[in-house]
Amino acid sequence: MSPSTPDSALQGKDFEVAIIGGGICGLACALTLAKQGVTVQIYEAASAFGEIGAGIGIGPNAIRILRDIGVLDDVVSKANDPSLNLRAFVFKSGMGNHEYPARAEDYGIGMHRASFLDALVLHVDPTITHFNKRCNKVVSSPSNPSRTMVHFDDGSHIETDVVLGADGIKSVVRTAVVSDQEVNIVAFVTDRSIEFGAANLPPSQPWVESVPQSEMLAEFDEWGSDVAGLLRCIKAPQKWMIYGVFPPLKSYVKGHVALLGDAAHAMLPHLGAGSGQGIEDAYLLGTLLGHSRTKASNLESVLKVYDEIRRPRAQKVWEDTRMAGDIYEGFGRQGFTPDGLRQDLSGLWDFVWNHDIVKDIQTAGEYLRELGTF
Ligand SMILES: Cc1cc2nc3c(=O)[nH]c(=O)nc-3n(C[C@H](O)[C@H](O)[C@H](O)COP(=O)(O)OP(=O)(O)OC[C@H]3O[C@@H](n4cnc5c(N)ncnc54)[C@H](O)[C@@H]3O)c2cc1C
């Protein structure tokens, strides 16, 4: 495996790299970069390189890399057993006659973590290592957006071209890569005392309304602690009425006017299907209107075919969204048990997701040819 080093790399790069964290991965990366002629600096929170006193298994994939970056001999020499000992994952049944259902074997090494790190450290240029540098923030440079600033607990900072976060599982650098985790929570409550249908809505009911957190929590007070914990994070909840087009339209088209998307079939959000249906509308409509045989003189007929093809499907999805809401809230056909829910939910998205819109376009063409329009 020895990747050839590009000549340009050996002549040096026009950028600098900072590695945050001098653990196994940070050092392995620093050694790889150094081998390629890239200027790199390592910033480590601790006062010295160090590892916990536990063992580590180094598999054949890593062995090949260690050999390539020139550290394998030192790694092996620091192991208790200075050879690439055969190691194997053996899966042995704890029951019956303790059969071996599986084994995975190859040449690797098992050694003490600290010894492994020591072997890597031997190859690291001490002038590029900076200890007692606990990174607490990574931001864009205010003076040059293509550079990045790294701030440390001791009040110092550096500016560099590339920042590599090797600062472990509790990585601070990760926050510069992953934006704040956002959780989108929608909690449904259905007032089943109100019959389904616009005519029965309470008068002047606002579409969106702020409600006290206590009102929201009260609706879910029998739910588990995970749900309660999530809901408590919503400090200023809003109550949204859920609307749909009901009763279903008898046609999406009249003369030269056609409806698509929510205008035609606004549905409940329970299958996450509304915009997908609108996109299917748009695609079929656009394709038919753009067809070479579509003219001002046959628009009405073309739009009618759009309606004939799209309406039954969109309406079926509409019905399915209502059924899904019933299932989620314990009113499914098979009942509110784990098994009943499994049966009711099984295949619920098949009709929504496994649709062949190209076939729809072909069918539309056939209809229009039969009508003599195309
Ligand atoms: C029980 C267990 C067993 C495992 N066994 C194996 C095994 O057999 N084989 C295997 O390949 N892997 C194993 N792993 C996984 C392996 O331990 C990790 O993948 C590996 O240690 C990760 O190395 P790292 O350099 O990314 O992070 P770390 O080893 O966590 O190093 C991070 C470094 O960054 C420094 N640092 C942290 N925060 C900052 C900061 N803010 N600023 C500056 N520096 C900072 C730390 O001081 C540390 O030196 C095991 C893991 C566990 C939990």
Q: pLDDT tens digit string along 3-60?
A: 434 343 445 678 889 999 999 999 999 998 888 888 899 999 999 999 877 788 888 8
Task: For tokens 């340009």, name the residue.
Answer: 8
Within-domain flag for 95 = no
Within-domain flag for 38 = yes
Backbone φ and ψ for 236, nearest 5 degrees, come out as -130, 75
- Distance (angstroms) between ligand 1 centre and the Cα of 176 equals 19
Site residues for ligand 1, CB cut-off 6 Å: 20-26, 43-46, 56-57, 133-135, 166-169, 172
Within-domain flag for 163 = yes
Which residue's alpha carbon is nearest to atom 9 within ligand 1? Answer: 57
Backbone φ and ψ for 63, nearest 5 degrees, come out as -55, -45
* Ligand 1 nearest atom to the CA of residue 152, by list position: 42
Domain co-membership, 154 together with 228: no
Within-domain flag for 182 = no
- Distance (angstroms) between ligand 1 centre and the Cα of 28 equals 12
* Ligand 1 nearest atom to the CA of residue 50, by list position: 49
Within-domain flag for 142 = yes
Distance spanning both ends of the chain, measured CA to CA: 62
* Ligand 1 nearest atom to the CA of residue 133, by list position: 43
Residue 86 is predicted with a pLDDT of: 64
- Distance (angstroms) between ligand 1 centre and the Cα of 168 equals 5
Out of 131, 146, 177, pick the residue that ends a domain: 177
Domain co-membership, 266 together with 159: no
- Measured CA to CA in angstroms, residue 138 lies from 129, 132, 134, 173, 285 at distances of 19, 17, 12, 6, 48
Q: Determine the Cα–Cα distance for residues 374 and 366; give it in Å rounded to an integer.
A: 9
Cis-peptide into 145, omega within 30 deg: no
* Ligand 1 nearest atom to the CA of residue 49, by list position: 49
Q: What are the pLDDT digits (tens) for 174-184?
A: 888 876 687 78
Mutation probe of ligand 1 site: the residue of 31, 44, 138 with most atoms within 8 A of C-beta: 44
Q: What are the pLDDT digits (tens) for 308-366?
A: 999 999 999 999 999 999 998 889 999 888 888 889 998 888 999 999 999 999 999 99
> Looking at the 3D structure of the chain, how many domains does it have?
3
Give the number of C-alpha atoms closer than 13 A to the C-alpha of residue 7, restricted to the C-beta side.
0
| Encoded tokens for 253 | 């088209």
Which residue's alpha carbon is nearest to atom 13 within ligand 1? Answer: 56
Percentage of the chain modeled with pLDDT above 70 = 91
Q: Are 43 and 70 within 8 A, CB to CB?
A: no
Domain co-membership, 169 together with 204: no
Within-domain flag for 185 = no
Domain encompassing residue 204: 198-240
Domain co-membership, 23 together with 128: yes
CA 159 to chain CA centroid, Å, is 30
Within-domain flag for 101 = no
Domain co-membership, 49 together with 159: yes
Nearest C-alpha neighbor of 26 from the set 135, 167, 176: 167
**CB under 8 Å, gap of 24 or more: what pairs does 89-98 form?**
none
Domain co-membership, 126 together with 149: yes
* Ligand 1 nearest atom to the CA of residue 173, by list position: 41
Domain co-membership, 222 together with 260: no
Cis-peptide into 247, omega within 30 deg: yes
